[in-house]
Amino acid sequence: MRTLIRSAAALAAAGLTLTPTAAGAAPTPSPGAATVTKAGTSFLTATTITPGQPVRVGASTGDHLYWSFRAEAGEVHEVTATVSFGGRARTGPSTWTVDVFDGLRRRQACTAGAQTPTAAATATAVTLGCTLRRVRPWAEPWSGDPLPGTYYLRLSVTDLPEPDLGLPVEVDLLVGADTGGGGSGDDGELAAPLVANTRAGTVLTAEPAPEPVAEEDAGLTGWLPEPGSRWVWTGAGGVLAAVAGVLGFALTRRPRRP
């Protein structure tokens, strides 16, 4: 019995470790994805890209380049960027950075990658990288955890000798999304993804009228658990356990004589 439990625990542990980890190889472009040759210059004008879509854009040293992409719960994103200097003589070392913001323009942490590398004056290129945290399906409003929605990337140079500003550079960028590893075990769901409202606003002249209290609809469909919820998983586990129990019981019986 003890060995059985041990082997069960070992199997469960093996099942857990078999799930792919986020620290995989560098992202590769999706086959057939069109290369994006544009970049925005602010949060509002950020160029939309999709994970796996390569970006190649010419720019000037000192430009702040913005892209945005959509993220879903459970994904881990990895950003890699290369800035090529094209052999132009520069007067000193330059520090580059790739900043990541969520849909509310809150700074997101990188768990791995060279987020702010410094390129020597003689370097021909500099590589930047940032692996983001796994996107959670729900988080408290007061937390800064990564949530589904828009993510903004900003590539810029943060420190350099002033005479080097304006020199042409070539920027290659790729966002990879790793959906492996399944959910993070979190419950809950965000009612609306963190996507910035980009419409021009209107200043209200009066307080809005009180809203009628919403009538609650207690239909049957509201009580059915969603597929993939803990109710379904646990219920299925109970059924499996019962079947396995009957099987185990049957195994101990003597084979019936004809």
Partner 1 sequence: MINKRRSAAVLIGLLTATALIGPPPAAADDETPEPPAEPPKVELVLDVSGSMRARDIDGRSRISVAQQAFNEVVDALPDETQLGIRVLGATYRGEDKKQGCRDTQQILPVGPVDRTQAKAAVATLRPTGFTPVGLALRSAAQDLGTGSTARRIVLITDGEDTCAPPDPCQVARELAAQGTRLVVDTLGLAPDEKVRRQLLCIAAATGGTYTAAQSADELTGRIKQLVDRARDTYTATPTVVGGSAGCDGAPLLAPGVYTDREAFAEHRWYRVPVHPGQELRASVSVALDRPVNPDYGVLLRATAPDGRELVRGVDAGSGRTDAVSAGLRWSAAEEESPEPAPTGTQPARTVCLVVSNSFAPRPGTQVTPGMPVELTVDVVAASPAPDGPDLGRGWALLLLLTLAGLVTGLVAGLLTRWWVATWREN
- The residues in 95-114 that bind partner 1, with binding defined as CB under 8 A, are 95, 101-102, 104-107
Instruction: Pick the binder of partner 1 from 221, 255, 256, 258 (CB under 8 A).
Output: 221
**Least gap, CB of 161 to partner 1 (angstroms):** 11
Instruction: Pick the binder of partner 1 from 217, 227, 257, 258 (CB under 8 A).
Output: 217
Q: What residues contact 152, with CB distance under 8 A and at least 6 apart?
A: 43, 46, 66, 67, 68, 100, 101, 102, 103, 105
Instruction: Pick the binder of partner 1 from 23, 109, 159, 180 (CB under 8 A).
Output: 159
Backbone φ and ψ of 77, nearest 5° = -105, 140
Binding to partner 1, residues 43-102 (CB under 8 A): 43-45, 47-48, 58, 60, 62-64, 95, 101-102
Q: What residues contact 149, with CB distance under 8 A and at least 6 apart?
A: 70, 71, 102, 103, 190, 193, 194, 195
Instruction: Pick the binder of partner 1 from 25, 204, 227, 255 (CB under 8 A).
Output: 204
Instruction: Pick the binder of partner 1 from 34, 122, 202, 255 (CB under 8 A).
Output: 202
Q: Does 32 bind partner 1 (CB under 8 A)?
A: no
Query: Which two structure tokens, joined as six digits, stand for 12?
Result: 């469960």
x/- mask, partner 1, residues 227-256, rule CB under 8 A, reads -xxxx-xx-xxx-xxxxxxxxxxxxxx---
Cβ(187)–Cβ(226) under 8 Å? no
CA-closest candidate to residue 112, choices 143, 135, 80: 80
* CA pair distance 25, 22, nearest whole angstrom: 9
Nearer CB in complex with partner 1: 120/189: 189
Q: Does 166 bind partner 1 (CB under 8 A)?
A: yes
* CA pair distance 52, 29, nearest whole angstrom: 5
Nearer CB in complex with partner 1: 26/159: 159
